[in-house]
Amino acid sequence: MIDTQKSPIPVFTATLALIRNRPSYFAVNLIFEAYFMVMRIVPGLILQRFFDALTDAAPAAVNLWSLLALMVGVEISRMVSNVLGAWGGAKVRNVSSSLLRKNVVQAIFRKPGAQALPVATGDIITRLDDDAADFGDFPTWTP
């Protein structure tokens, strides 16, 4: 009988391998998601200046219209960042889970034709669908 049990790959090592597969997609996701998170602070700072301007406690160079324009610009940049971050995350998830599915199917096809798989068919389908998709999500959780 052939031993089909192999030692598991550590999650960190496998996640790094997925990131190295397509680093540009991961970089797009990381940059725009981090930008989106950091930019959540800016509207509060702008609103603080806005209310300071209403009470005449602000410097003379900043007026209400410039603060309003700055607020609109920040929110538009946050929306664009959110869309690009989501696009990068979707690319990372799709490429990673597709690569995992391809590797599993290739491993199955490398087995001799008469040798049965060690698990039930339903379990294999679940692993190809849900488990590969879940593991493909790991790199997008880092930002």
Structure tokens of 95? 């490429």
Reported confidence tier of residue 29, pLDDT bands at 50, 70, 90 = confident
Which pLDDT value is given to residue 17?
84
Structure tokens of 128? 């190809």
Averaged pLDDT of the chain: 80
pTM exceeds 0.75, yes or no? no
Which pLDDT value is given to residue 142?
64
Instruction: Indicate if the pLDDT at residue 127 is higher than 60.
Output: yes
Instruction: Indicate if the pLDDT at residue 4 is higher than 60.
Output: no
CA separation for the pair 95, 136 (Å, rounded): 8
Contact 2, 115 (CB under 8 A): yes
User: Beta-carbon neighbour count of residue 97 at 10 Å?
Assistant: 21
Which pLDDT value is given to residue 44?
84
What torsion do the CA atoms of 123, 128, 134, 136 make, to the nearest 10 degrees? 160
Instruction: Indicate if the pLDDT at residue 12 is higher than 60.
Output: yes
Q: What is the mean pLDDT of residues 53-76?
A: 76
